[in-house]
Amino acid sequence: MHIQNNVSLLPFNTFHIDALAHHYVEISSLDDLREVVAQKLPQKHEVLVLGGGSNVLLMHNFDGLVLKNNLSGKQVVNETEEHVYVKAASGEVWHEFVLYCIAQNYGGLENLSLIPGSVGASPIQNIGAYGAEIKDTFFELEALHLHTGKTETFALNDCHFGYRESVFKNKLKGQFFITSVTFKLSKNPVFRTDYGQIQSELDRLGVKELSVKAISDAVCNIRRSKLPDPAQIGNAGSFFKNPVIPNEQFVQLKQQYPDISAYPAERGTKIAAGWLIEKAGWKGKTLDGYGVHKNQALVLVNYGGASGEQIYQLSTDIIADIQKTFGIALEREVNKI
């Protein structure tokens, strides 16, 4: 384990924000992580765990310790007639892990294809797309407490999953380093094609027989058509959550905006944040090297050289405008660091 000082985080965040980490260390094994804890470094410094860096907005230099998660490996740890339990190290690239499962014909993650980031970040955010969320296939995770060094196992109920939420974003924020995640996947998948454009894309591709690979291919095509590649244009995917509003408010908005994009939700109606932002005129808006993506209004982009403060201010302006125009409060999905 080698601790470096004043390391640029530009290569390690998909927004391509150039910020320095005062201390930086790469975690390639559990021994590396235990050594960090044994030296009491997390007690001496604020800690930021970085996987793929796909859901963070760096506001300034990080005057603490960055732990770059490079843990790797995956294996089947249990199997029944109907399910297979696949354990993946937290540093594995999420999409590569999804493709591995698809190659084995394990069902459950295909709708979550092409989401940037790491396996370890997936339960923190309870990532979701096209009608699926991590909680649907999550079995358990292992995490090491950064102060005590104790390894703990968290089952489904322990994680308190919500919409883009978990206990690791709230009560336990910053306390644990997730080391592995185990997923309960199906040998006889139930395909979800009723969300978004999946079915129409399957029709366009001429798919006659559904499979996890066909669903994944359709999802990848849709995402590539709408979302910018972080390798080409700095972004963190969806910047805002889709808000849930009371049904009474939705009925009123529907009368004023018949084309409003919405879905039934547990406690009301979920409104497509991208529709709100586009309707308010922000889609494609470009400022000085940053702005709102031309194909997907949910995505804020850095065309090069923008600061975290500039992008955050843009999000603040959008939130204020949506509140004023529609009476709806948007929440950021991306974590401000």
Q: What is the pLDDT of residues 237-270, one digit of tens each?
A: 999 999 999 999 999 999 999 999 998 888 899 9
pLDDT higher than 90, residue 13: yes
Give the whole-angstrom CA distance, residue 185 versus residue 101.
Answer: 9
Active centre residues (catalytic):
164, 238, 333
Q: What is the pLDDT of residues 179-195, one digit of tens each?
A: 999 999 999 998 988 87
Residue 229 lies inside a defined structural domain of this protein: no
256: CB partners within 8 A, 6+ apart: none
Residue 267 and residue 248 in contact, taking contact as beta carbons nearer than 8 Å: no
- Tell me the CATH number at 249: 3.90.78.10
> Pseudo-torsion of CA 71, 75, 80, 84, nearest 10°?
60
What pLDDT was estimated at residue 49? 96
Asked whether residue 62 falls in the same domain as residue 79, the answer is no
Q: Confidence band (pLDDT; 50, 70, 90) for 60?
A: very high
Percent pLDDT > 70 in the chain is 100
Asked whether residue 161 falls in the same domain as residue 98, the answer is yes
What pLDDT was estimated at residue 35? 94
How many domains does the chain contain in total? 3
Q: What is the pLDDT of residues 85-135, one digit of tens each?
A: 999 999 999 999 999 999 999 999 999 999 999 999 999 999 998 989 999
Is residue 265 helix, strand or coil?
A: strand
Kindly calculate the radius of gyration of the chain based on its CA atoms and give it in whole angstroms: 20
Asked whether residue 85 falls in the same domain as residue 58, the answer is no
pTM surpassing 0.75? yes
Residue 199 lies inside a defined structural domain of this protein: no
- Tell me the CATH number at 65: 3.30.43.10
Find where tokens 């395909």 sit.
191
pLDDT higher than 80, residue 296: yes
Residue 225 lies inside a defined structural domain of this protein: no
CB atoms within 10 A of CB 288: 9
pLDDT higher than 90, residue 321: yes
Give the whole-angstrom CA distance, residue 84 versus residue 47.
Answer: 35
Asked whether residue 264 falls in the same domain as residue 281, the answer is yes
What residue numbers bound the domain in which 49 lies?
4-69
Residue 285 and residue 301 in contact, taking contact as beta carbons nearer than 8 Å: no
What pLDDT was estimated at residue 163? 87
Give the whole-angstrom CA distance, residue 158 versus residue 141.
Answer: 10
Residue 147 lies inside a defined structural domain of this protein: yes
Give the whole-angstrom CA distance, residue 94 versus residue 73.
Answer: 12
From 63-72, 257-266, 276-285, 327-336, the region with the lowest mean pLDDT: 257-266
More confident residue, 80 or 163: 80
- Tell me the CATH number at 132: 3.30.465.10
From 85-89, 198-202, 282-286, 321-325, the region with the lowest mean pLDDT: 198-202
The β-bridge relationship of strands 132-133 and 128-129 is: antiparallel
CB atoms within 10 A of CB 209: 5
pLDDT higher than 80, residue 1: no
Asked whether residue 79 falls in the same domain as residue 45, the answer is no
What pLDDT was estimated at residue 208? 87
Residue 195 lies inside a defined structural domain of this protein: no
